[in-house]
Amino acid sequence: MRTRKPGGTGIEVSARTLDTTVFGRTGHPDHGDSARMIHRALDAGGDAVDTAVAYGYGETGKIVGKALAGRRAATTSYPSAPPALTDPDPRRRPLPGRAAA
């Protein structure tokens, strides 16, 4: 199976990564259905779940956390964030309520 190292982390995960952008109130609101999608992806050989604080205004992380209960050891959950939010220089980070330049 192909693998990759997301975001230069050095963590090696399957190329089959589930993107959870649309789970929660910004997309698919049914938590049970979202959990079933996560389980199906893992059962198909995926071992990584991409999530972020911004997805679903934080609701997505709760969905992913519950869905991975009991399966965390076999799964990598990694957050993604736009570079502007992770920039080490605070002068280049956006102010709350303002988009990054």
| Domain residue ranges of the chain, discontinuous segments joined by + | 3-82
Separation CA 69–CA 39 (nearest Å): 11
Q: What count of other Cβ atoms lies within 10 Å of the Cβ of residue 45?
A: 10
Q: Please, which pLDDT band fits residue 38 given cuts at 50, 70 and 90?
A: very high
Q: What is the pLDDT of residue 99?
A: 47
Q: Is the pLDDT of residue 50 over 50?
A: yes
DSSP 13-33: EES-EEE-TTBSTTSB--HHH
pTM over 0.85: no
Strands 17-19 and 48-51: parallel
Work out the average pLDDT over 14-37: 88
Q: Is the pLDDT of residue 36 over 80?
A: yes
Question: For residue 83, which of 74, 92, 91 has the smallest C-alpha distance?
Answer: 92
Angle, CA of 88, 65 and 98, to the nearest 5°: 35
